[in-house]
Structure 1
Amino acid sequence: MIPTIMAGVVSCKQNSFVCGLLFLFMITSQASAQNSFVSCDNNKGNYTADSTYHTNLNTLLSTLTSNTQIDYGFYNFSYGQNSDKVNAIGLCRGDVEPDECRSCLNDARHNLTQLCPNQKEAILYHEKCMLRYSNRSIFGLLEINPSYYMFNINNATDVYRFNQVLSNLMRILTGVAASGDSRRKYAAGNTVASNNQTIYGAVQCTPDLTQQDCYLCLVGAIAEIPTCCGGKIGARVGRPSCNIRYENYSFYQEPTVYAPAPAPSL
């Protein structure tokens, strides 16, 4: 198993109860275990059990992935009215197949509502999916917090050369992902650094972002690498609007190629 260390990188307001209860936990299934990061935001309001908001949240999350025509791993829906309206976003990594995506998001909703039992805004990052919800509008907005990072404890043998090659790979992938359509903004690829060491990378935005906002989000996430994970042979940076990852081993499948999105009707 590849050794990793995980830490939170979150902008907090003073006296904010650890930025709304941030913690790391392990979700163990029969097949595997995956690192996860959760943020329960007490600053954005709380709800009571069996309230209208609670009912709307449960209804939305239980039906979020019910539309089987969505096969590109992005779900953004709302339920309810006025102050009891709930907005949710579910995003799966671009190479994850639809059935696995829905399974990941369903696991995430159970975990998130248990770990954040009364917060109106919360987010959970799994390895293959991300789920967030809020009582405020979250669609089409560039958001960078709460963020997290993980890194491999091992260093590259030639850090300077490794960083050069990594930077070029992430730059190329960022351009490809940002130019994606309203269903999918994801890119993955690999390149060779020193000593024939291959670097595998993947970057992704929520597809509701504009091309410019996706680009800005990814560039900002990549800029965190020298501070959090400089010289490491693998790392991840996650944000609500985008995420990046690179490793010295292949961690993704070749993504499914989708037909171009239909042009909007006039």
Structure 2
Amino acid sequence: MDMQMYRGHAVVAALVLLTTVTAASPTGYWGYLCDGGNYSAPSKYQQNLEQLSATLPEAVASSPSLFHTQAVGSSQDRAYALARCRGDTEADDCKRCLTQAFKDARAVCTFRKGISIYYDTCSLWFAEKIKIHLGDLQSVLRADGPPIPTQCKAFQNDASTLIADVARKASDSSQRHATGEKGCDERACNYTLYTLADCLPGISAAQCQVCLEDLTSTPGLSGRQMGERKATLLCSYRLEPYQFFRDTKGGHTNKTLWIVVVIAGGAVLLAIALLLWWWFLAKHPSAIDSFNKITTNWQGKTIALFLDYDGTLAPKVDNPDEAYMSSE
């Protein structure tokens, strides 16, 4: 599935989003939507999904943007899939999340050809048709966490301001990912709110902005809980009274960078060690080398060699002129 399929869509100022309220799952997903018709088992479509589940998690985890699209099969039975991981997710965690997502998707929407499923660190969508249009996106919403203290009159304003600010930063970011926090330390009301907002890598800043603005402009479930999250296929945000994301400047924490640093550091240390060894040999020639030099220069003379305990010539006989006793 080409990235151009959603880059070319016009940005619509007003989006119509159908919202599904979901509860937490013991397996990790927090929301899902079933869509499309049914497929039978066994079938070619099922085989195509199996192939996607075997290859897509690794493809996403190895992508610098933690995002990948893939299509498998002929036109009649083709299965399209799109998957991504949150920008601060490690590659191993990303792969593990998406592998589980394929399993859960076929369990909660058994034999359905289309599904989108959402986790803390990843999301997965697959279907028999390409259907990514800003005006037709469905969203999932979940509110949880501790209740908002009645004395915290400024909570709703603080939350709305923080979400809007982080959403704007995400749309302006080249990685379409941003985090932020805002605290209140008043005597009667003390809390710190944390927010993360992101969009599908590759979409335009304008599309990201419109998607997040619409997503964040509608109120939450009840306005009575401090935690809230909402997502569509193209964008999502999350608000919690605790830090749930990693402190990274650019999003994805790349293990490859650390590997390069370690290898480069090791090479530098090795070079230093070799230079020190060369310097030591230059300053302390071996007894054999010095002996050969002395015997060559002083043929026919009686020579007294003075060796230190380390097997090198003593400093007093470094000069061949001093390394003999007599000419007899």
Instruction: Indicate which of 14, 31, 34 corresponds to 1:37.
Output: 31
Q: Do residues 46 (structure 1) and 53 (structure 2) align?
A: no
**Separation in 2 of the partners of 1:236 and 1:121?**
22
Residue type at the aligned position of 1:66: E
More helix by share: 2
Q: Do residues 211 (structure 1) and 202 (structure 2) align?
A: no
Deviation at 1:54, TM superposition (A): 1.4
What 5-or-longer segments of structure 1 have no aligned partner? 1-9, 13-18, 29-33, 260-266
Match of 1:263 in 2: none
Match of 1:101 in 2: 94
**Separation in 1 of the partners of 2:242 and 2:70?**
35
Deviation at 1:118, TM superposition (A): 1.2
Match of 1:61 in 2: 53
Matches within 5 A, 1:118-137: 118-137=111-130
Deviations 1:189-243 (A, max 9, x none): 1122352521111111112432222112211221233x42425322111222211
**Separation in 2 of the partners of 1:155 and 1:109?**
35
Give the total of aligned pairs: 232
**Separation in 1 of the partners of 2:74 and 2:133?**
19
Distance 1:244 1:167, change over 3 A: same
Matches within 5 A, 1:133-172: 133-138=126-131, 141=134, 144-172=137-165
Counterpart contact for 1:121–1:132, Cα < 8 Å? yes
Q: Do residues 176 (structure 1) and 169 (structure 2) align?
A: yes
Counterpart contact for 1:153–1:232, Cα < 8 Å? yes
TM-score, normalised with respect to structure 1: 0.76
What is the RMSD computed on CA atoms of the aligned residues? 2.7
What 5-or-longer segments of structure 2 have no aligned partner? 1-16, 253-328
Match of 1:26 in 2: 25
Residue type at the aligned position of 1:53: Y
**Separation in 2 of the partners of 1:122 and 1:231?**
30
Match of 2:18 in 1: 11
**Separation in 1 of the partners of 2:136 and 2:173?**
18
Deviation at 1:55, TM superposition (A): 1.2
Deviation at 1:146, TM superposition (A): 4.1
Deviation at 1:256, TM superposition (A): 5.8
Residue type at the aligned position of 1:188: T
Greater C-alpha Rg: 2
Distance 1:49 1:146, change over 3 A: farther
More strand by share: 1
Taking only the aligned residue pairs, the percentage that are identical comes to 25
**Separation in 2 of the partners of 1:164 and 1:37?**
26
Distance 1:194 1:231, change over 3 A: farther
Match of 1:5 in 2: none
Counterpart contact for 1:198–1:249, Cα < 8 Å? yes
Deviations 1:17-38 (A, max 9, x none): xx8xx9656234xxxxx35222
